[in-house]
Amino acid sequence: MKLSRLAFLAQAFSAATVYSQSLTRVIPNWLISTGIPTGIIPSFVTRTQDSSASPSVTACPGNAPNKRAVWCNYSIDTDYENVVPDTGKTLEYWFDIDEVTISPDGFARPVMAVNGTIPGPTLYANWGDYVVIHVTSHLERARNGSSIHWHGMRQNYTNQNDGVVSVTQCPLAPGQTMTYRWRAVQYGSSWYHSHIGLQAWEGVFGGIVINGPATANYDIDKGSLFLNDWTHATVDELYEFQHQNGPITLDNGLLNGTNVLGTGANSTKGSRFTMKMNQGTSYRLRLVNAAIDTHWSFMIDNHSLTVIAMDLVPIKPFTTDILRIGMGQRYDIIVEANQASIAENFWIRAIPGASCALNYEATNIEGILYYGSAPQTPNTVGYTLTSSDTDCLDMSMTDLVPYLAKDVAAPVWNKPENVSLNHLTGPFFWEMNSTSMKISWENPTLGQIYNNKMNFTASSGVIELPFEDEWVYLMIKTTLPVTHPIHLHGHDFSILAQGTGSYNGSVMTNNPPRRDTAMLPAMGYLLLGWQTNNPGAWLMHCHIGWHIEEGFALQFIERYDDIKSLIDYNELQSVCEPWDAYDTSANITQIDSGV
């Protein structure tokens, strides 16, 4: 290796330990000491985060601030479940999964992140566009496999691009590149994240914005606003303690990747999330809960929030002061900047749900909305939390009315799943119907289906749905005092019943809330229904990072007979073969559920 390159690397190393928004990829120690042939050296780059990066795609003509319902020749009234604009466009993105040291709250720690930033670069597309993403992993030092899941994206007949290790692919080995291809058949706000181990919560995530029509007007789109909890040790380091002992207190939280760290020995300067608004202007924000184990109540002092979408489903606008958002969920909100006469600065608050989340900085996860020329410390007072906020529940079902009404028919398949723990002291494994998922990175479900395997083991958590375009219902119940955000891949489900205590048998079939993630209340039930119109192996899981690691997952094999023809086996093998070789040479051990 040339000396100049080594000097460059050394410089990069020291730069990486200093907090700044500029990022440097950490070069694996073995690379420096052994001098590997240049061909496999990851391209080394220094980047500056451009927080003002503008969308790379433009809105359809006609979609003006006072006409957000319009979208080219389509509109908010178009039935997006059946009609998708033919834009004739394919967008191509390149993602690098890096290991970097950054200090989102002023406390330096190693993270894994897409293109070295938290959140990673936002993926923009227009409704109907095709999207191609080339993902390259540089996780040599951690010796991690990787993958990217496009959360909430329908993956209509493109199951193999869902990015779930052990189900739709093998882990992507360090140094390898894999390409995902899918079409944006819905519009709105979502996010992408790694779907192996706890890697998403080490920092591998970012926003997805699919432009389309909306159910209310607004002037300016402010983009994604991520709500994360945050730890100073890595979540991989914390996992074993959590696994043995149960819930742990997290160190902090971040608004769009930044915060300060309050008092005490570890206090830092960090920096608060700030957002400038002009009196008389309205703003769209795309809230995403990307936490490992925190349900949030979000509010902006003295401002009300108009909610226009839940996950990727537009809803009839409703107004609230406090918005509860579970892990994996999204809400699109409009904020009317109309309070400049009261103050110049207002707190934006993300408050952890007291009965389900522990955080040392619970009252300090705050940003600043300011009307003046620069942000100053606000002295405003927050709205009062209700018991639903502290109990980590979803917004009321009666508020969440899909704009495009869809009624639910009787099911051909209707079964319960009982959520429980293997035993009440650690190590903890979550079970559904007494089974904790345990599947293998090297042996993804799609490969097994391609090879005609029929007999899945109990711990693979497989439920077969061989029905074509029929409704199926799944009742998830628990007697334990823990809430869980339940997420399904490949579909939006309808929420037919949701509550605490015993279920009284009522089923809401008349345009119920429809989305991809919903809360199972503590000691409660959640009845979900969806239509089997998308062949594939689709994961359903709790979106609490610890819980998926501990086996809280099922996989629905929807229309087995229709899946095989959708599999590109060469492509599957092009990720599995390098992984198998890497796995053997690096002596990797899988300790978790596999997803």
* Among Cu ion, ligand NAG, none, partner that 265 touches (CB below 5 to 8 angstroms by kind): ligand NAG
Count of C-beta atoms within a 10 Å radius of residue 400: 22
Stretch that binds ligand NAG, among 191-199, 303-311, 403-411, 566-574 (CB under 6 A): 191-199
511 binds ligand NAG per the rule CB under 6 A? no
For position 256 contacting ligand NAG by CB under 6 A, the verdict is: yes
Q: Residue 128: CB partners within 8 Å, gap ≥ 6? A: 84, 85, 86, 87, 89, 183, 184, 185
Nearer CB in complex with ligand NAG: 42/485:
42
**Binding marks (x or -) toward Cu ion, 536..575, rule CB under 5 A?**
------x-x--x----------------------------
Q: Is 264 in the site for ligand NAG (CB under 6 A)?
A: yes
Under rule CB under 6 A, residue 29 binds ligand NAG: no
224 binds, among ligand NAG, Cu ion, none (CB under 5 to 8 A by kind): ligand NAG
**Nearest in space to 183 (alpha carbons), one of 111, 246, 118, 132:** 132
- Burial letters 440-477, b for 16+ CB under 10 A, else e: ebbebbbbbbbeeeeebeeebbbbebeeeebbbbbbbb
| 243 contributes a contact to ligand NAG by CB under 6 A | no
Closest to 398 (Cα-Cα) out of 508, 309, 550: 508
- Cβ-based neighbours of 263, under 8 Å, separated by 6 or more: none
Kindly tell me which residue out of 29, 30, 40, 94 binds ligand NAG, with binding defined by CB under 6 A: 94
Q: 411 is in the binding site of which of ligand NAG, Cu ion, none (Cβ under 5 to 8 A by kind)?
A: none
Q: Which helix (H) or strand (E) holds 487?
A: strand 484-488
Residue position matching structure tokens 């639903």: 388
Rounded to whole angstroms, how far apart are CA atoms 474 and 36? 52
- Residue 160 three-state SS: helix
> Is the Cα dihedral 151, 55, 45, 231 positive or negative?
negative
Near ligand NAG by CB under 6 A, which window of 3-11, 220-228, 524-532, 578-586? 220-228
Short-list 449, 446, 445, CA closest to 460: 445
| Omega within 30 of 0 (cis) for the link into 28 | no
Name the residue nearer to Cu ion (CB basis): 140 or 394.
Answer: 394
- Residue 316 in the binding site for ligand NAG (CB under 6 A): no
Q: Measure CA 351 to chain center.
A: 19
Minimum CB–partner distance for residue 434 and ligand NAG (Å): 7
Looking at residue 460, what DSSP letter applies?
G
37 binds ligand NAG (CB under 6 A): no
Supply the minimum distance, in Å, between the C-beta of residue 485 and Cu ion: 7
Give SS3 for 59: coil
CA distances to 152, 220, 314 from 213, in Å = 18, 14, 9
Interaction between residue 415 and ligand NAG (CB under 6 A): yes
User: Closest by alpha carbon to 550, among 307, 308, 270, 243?
Assistant: 243
Among ligand NAG, Cu ion, none, what does residue 121 contact (CB within 5–8 Å per kind)? Answer: ligand NAG
DSSP state of 34: H
Report the residue from 73, 90, 249, 379 that binds ligand NAG according to the rule CB under 6 A. 73
Q: Which of residues 329-388 bind ligand NAG (CB under 6 A)?
A: 342, 381, 383
Interaction of residue 223 with ligand NAG, rule CB under 6 A? yes
Tell me which of 225, 290, 322, 351 binds ligand NAG, using CB under 6 A: 225
Mapped onto helix, strand or coil, the DSSP state of residue 572 is: helix
175 binds ligand NAG (CB under 6 A): no
Contacts with ligand NAG, residue ranges (CB under 6 A): 45, 51, 72-73, 81, 84, 93-96, 115, 119, 121-122, 142, 144-145, 156-157, 185, 196-197, 199, 207, 222-225, 232-233, 236, 251, 256, 264-266, 275, 285, 301-302, 342, 381, 383, 415-418, 420, 433, 453, 455, 463, 479-480, 499, 504, 506, 587, 589
